[in-house]
Amino acid sequence: MYNPSYQGNSQASLLWAVLFSSALSVTGCATTDQHPADATRASKGKADAADPYEGFNRSMYGFNMGLDKHLLKPIANGYKTVTPNFMQTGVSNFFTNLKGINVVLNDFLQGKFEQGASDTGRFLTNSTVGLLGLFDVASDLGLQGNVEDFGQTLAVWGVDQGPYLVLPVLGPTTVRDGAAIVVDKAANPGTYVPGTGIVEGINDRANAEGALNFIDEAALDPYVFTRESFLQYRKNLINDGKSNSTDYDLDIDADVDVGEISSAKPKESNATQKPKADAAKKQPGHVQNAIEVTPGSAKPNSATFDSMSKSFDNAALEFEKASDKMDLFSKKKRQRKHR
């Protein structure tokens, strides 16, 4: 109702397999041309440490929105029209339950043993009594589900979130969370059954309808709105909802009382505040190590980066053209009918 909630960013896993290789190359160049990007941004007076690749991300966002408007949204709407509500809930429960193994794994990796035990009970209950996860019996028994993934675990371990990224089809993520998808997918049984990814993707899109509509209604700049809510939402998940209002308070206080607003956004100041104190000392460079970037490939990478960005822009344009044609076509059809 008030805050958009993101249903993870797992979509069609078949597509994912193809696309993740490109995601890696994106992060590769992302790490190499960081400094020039920062410099130009600073000169514009629009420094945003969390999003150094705004240009690239914006064209990806445009591409994703085009894809959504002309393909994913119609499919999701169709799915919602033909499927009864109880079945939609069942499908949703089923895929959430499949993620259960990964939730338990990450509970333990983060040292949350009590929560891990509860989530284990949840997974076992729903997989058996809940008929392979179709029914969420555990919630009724008081075992509330938790959202955990490897990206959150990395954050708890002290890995910096790295630059914000918008991946084609997969949507908003960060370098850290994007790399962590490998583990999340590996720990999800659905990954090993061909075809399920597509159903899961449709289900995810259908569930995201409310959040996407909210953004559409409320945002002046939907790209920025999505980015900010995504980063804040992730941060809240990492902190397990433990109050961080004081962080915002300090920042806002500074605005109000001093009457001068620092260009630093709330999340920037928070970006250095990691769950573990020693994390702040670490350099963001270790994120790059995690995904093994070869430093020698700087130039070709940024060239492919640019051309990729352009080709996605073109694809977004093509969507528009195609939809215009469709509109024209359906109009003609209607006119013919009238005659």
Partner 1 sequence: MFKKLYFSLSLLLLVCLSPLAVAEEVSARQVVDEFQNQLLSVMKAGKELGFQGRYDKLDVAVKKSHDLPKIARIVVGKQWEELTTEQQNKLESVFSKLSVSAYAHNFKDYSGESFTFASEEETGRGGVVIHTNLHIPGEKDVKFDYMMKKKDDSWQIINIIADGVSDLALKRSDYTSVLSRDGFDALIVKITEKIESYAKQ
117 interacts with partner 1 by CB under 8 A: no
Q: What's the rounded Cα separation, in Å, for the pair 30 and 289?
A: 13
Provide CB contacts within 8 A for 42, sequence distance 6+. Answer: none
**Residue 147 in contact with residue 236, Cβ under 8 Å?**
no
Least distance from partner 1 to the Cβ atom of residue 222, Å: 9
267 interacts with partner 1 by CB under 8 A: yes
> Which H or E run contains 174?
strand 171-174
CA-wise closest residue to 239 among 274, 265, 280: 274
Least distance from partner 1 to the Cβ atom of residue 24, Å: 28
239 interacts with partner 1 by CB under 8 A: yes
Between strands 164-167 and 171-174, the pairing is: antiparallel
Q: Which of 16, 228, 287, 309 binds partner 1 (CB under 8 A)?
A: 228
142 interacts with partner 1 by CB under 8 A: no
Q: Which of 235, 274, 308, 312 binds partner 1 (CB under 8 A)?
A: 235
Binding marks (x or -) toward partner 1, 309..338, rule CB under 8 A?
------------------------------
Q: Which of 236, 273, 302, 304 binds partner 1 (CB under 8 A)?
A: 236
Q: What's the rounded Cα separation, in Å, for the pair 63 and 170?
A: 11
249 interacts with partner 1 by CB under 8 A: yes
Q: Which residues, 54 to 93, sit near partner 1 by CB under 8 A?
A: none
39 interacts with partner 1 by CB under 8 A: no
Q: What is the dihedral of CA 246, 247, 251, 256, to 10 degrees?
A: -20
Segment near partner 1 (CB under 8 A), from 80-88, 191-199, 214-222, 311-319? 214-222
Q: Which of 187, 266, 274, 316 binds partner 1 (CB under 8 A)?
A: 266
Number of residues counted as binding partner 1 (CB under 8 A): 45
Task: Specify the length of the chain in residues.
Answer: 339
Residue found under tokens 């089809």: 169
Mark out the alpha helices in 145-195 (DSSP H runs). Answer: 150-156, 175-186
> Which H or E run contains 164?
strand 164-167
Least distance from partner 1 to the Cβ atom of residue 57, Å: 13
Q: What's the rounded Cα separation, in Å, for the pair 52 and 175?
A: 12
Q: What's the rounded Cα separation, in Å, for the pair 70 and 59?
A: 16
253 interacts with partner 1 by CB under 8 A: yes
Least distance from partner 1 to the Cβ atom of residue 253, Å: 5
260 interacts with partner 1 by CB under 8 A: yes
Q: Choose between 128 and 213: whose C-beta lies nearer to partner 1.
A: 213
Q: Choose between 205 and 227: whose C-beta lies nearer to partner 1.
A: 227
268 interacts with partner 1 by CB under 8 A: no
277 interacts with partner 1 by CB under 8 A: no
Helix%, strand%, coil% for the chain, nearest 5 = 70, 0, 25
Q: What's the rounded Cα separation, in Å, for the pair 266 and 15?
A: 35
233 interacts with partner 1 by CB under 8 A: yes
Q: What's the rounded Cα separation, in Å, for the pair 26 and 58?
A: 14
269 interacts with partner 1 by CB under 8 A: no
- Which residues lie near partner 1 (CB under 8 A)? 1-5, 45-46, 144, 217-221, 224-225, 227-229, 232-233, 235-237, 239, 241, 243-246, 248-253, 255-257, 260-263, 265-267
